Structure 1
Amino acid sequence: MKTFIYMVRHGESPKTEGDERTRGLTEKGRSDARIITQLLKDERIDAFISSPYKRAMATIEELAQSAGKEIVVLEELRELVFIGNNQIMADRELYPLVKKMFNEPDFSLPGGESIAICRNRVVRTFRNILQQYRGQKVAIGTHGAVMTLMMGYFDSQYDLDFLLTTSKPDIYKMEFQDEVLVETKRLWRN
């Protein structure tokens, strides 16, 4: 039975307000979310699931509303916790850290989690989604690192190099036959 998962990486988000959980979208991020709605509205998506982070939910919110659906929020789909207390890290600090973490999967900063721990959390959750929503089309509001870890579980080409080429937002349509990944298509074009 075919199941389709639409990985929707969140749009551009300001790193100057709130914390990792509460920062929303920039004006460009909100504009891109409207484009996502237009791109995916005819896909007839059955269910919408999101990370609890505001920017991920906001990116798929209009799409879910246009389909008359609620967003199911799963704490387990939160972004990789890079450092404690939901602190925002500047990109100039974050990108070298992400490279180190992918190269050393058990490494973590104080209060953060390792790639290995995060991968176990998100892959277990993703596999549960595949079982629970078997035969359906599901959009997942997500983040770059966790999206890469979930996709990489099924196909090793989705690794650090892949992550570094993704955009905010980004969309990948994954086709599964039961729990076997058959095909992945990028739907977002910058």
Structure 2
Amino acid sequence: MKTFIYMVRHGESPKTDGNERTRGLTDKGRLDAHIITELLKDEGIDTFVSSPYERAILTIEELARSLGKEVLAFEDLREIVFLSDDKILSEQELYPSVKKMFSDPDFSLPGGESITICQNRSIATLKKILKKYKGQKVVIGTHGAVMTLMMGYFDSQYDLDFLLKTSKPDIYRMEFNEEVLVEAKRIWKS
């Protein structure tokens, strides 16, 4: 039985001082969320789950509402925790840190988590989703690194180079037979 997972990376979000959890979307991010609604409204989506971070929920919320569905927030789908207390990592620090984390999967910044820890928690959640919603079409509101780690678990071509080529937002439809990835296809056209 086929299960389809639509990985929807969140739209553009302002990188201002504050908290990772409460970052919303920019005007472009909100416009792109509307485009996502138009792209996916006829796909027959059954279920919507998301990272608990506001930008991920906001990116798929319009689509869910248009189909009369709720977005279920799953804590273990949150973005990789770079710094303690959900502090925002500056753009200048982000890419060098991510590169180091991908080259050394057990490295973490002080108070943060490693790629290994993030991948383990997100894959455990994805496997639960595949089991609970077997045979359905499920949208997951996610983040670039988490999306890459979940996809990379099933196929090593989804690595740092892949992450660096993704856009905000981005959409990949993954087809599963049980827990075996059959195909992944990019739907977002940036």
Q: TM-score range by the shorter chain?
A: over 0.9
Pairwise CA distance, 1:20: 0.3
Pairwise CA distance, 1:17: 5.2
Q: Aligned letter for 1:89?
A: L
1:69 aligns with 2:105: no
* Alignment partner, residue 173 of structure 2: 173
Alignment of 1:41-52 (within 5 A): 41-52=41-52
Q: Aligned letter for 1:53?
A: Y
The answer to whether the 8 Å contact 1:64/1:71 transfers is yes
The answer to whether the 8 Å contact 1:17/1:23 transfers is no
* Alignment partner, residue 57 of structure 2: 57
Q: Aligned letter for 2:70?
A: E
Where has structure 1 moved over 6 Å in runs of 4 or more? none
Count of residue pairs the alignment pairs up = 190
Q: For 2:97 and 2:17, how far apart are their aligned partners in 1?
A: 21
3-state DSSP of counterpart to 2:49: strand
Deviations 1:80-137 (Å, cap 9, x if unpaired)?
A: 0011111111212100000000001111111100011111100111011000100000
3-state DSSP of counterpart to 2:185: strand
RMSD over aligned CA atoms reads 0.7
3-state DSSP of counterpart to 2:72: strand
Q: Aligned letter for 1:54?
A: E
Which stretch shows the higher mean deviation, 59-68 or 87-96?
87-96
Which stretch shows the higher mean deviation, 57-66 or 177-186?
177-186
* Alignment partner, residue 141 of structure 2: 141
The answer to whether the 8 Å contact 1:12/1:26 transfers is yes
Q: Aligned letter for 1:105?
A: P
1:161 aligns with 2:161: yes
1:20 aligns with 2:20: yes
Pairwise CA distance, 1:18: 3.4
Q: Give % identity.
A: 73
Q: For 1:15 and 1:64, how far apart are their aligned partners in 2?
A: 26
Q: For 1:35 and 1:123, how far apart are their aligned partners in 2?
A: 28
Q: Structure 2 length normalisation: TM-score? A: 0.99
Q: Which runs of 5+ in 2 are unaligned?
A: none
Q: Aligned letter for 1:98?
A: V
Deviations 1:19-62 (Å, cap 9, x if unpaired)?
A: 10001000000000000000000001000000000000000000
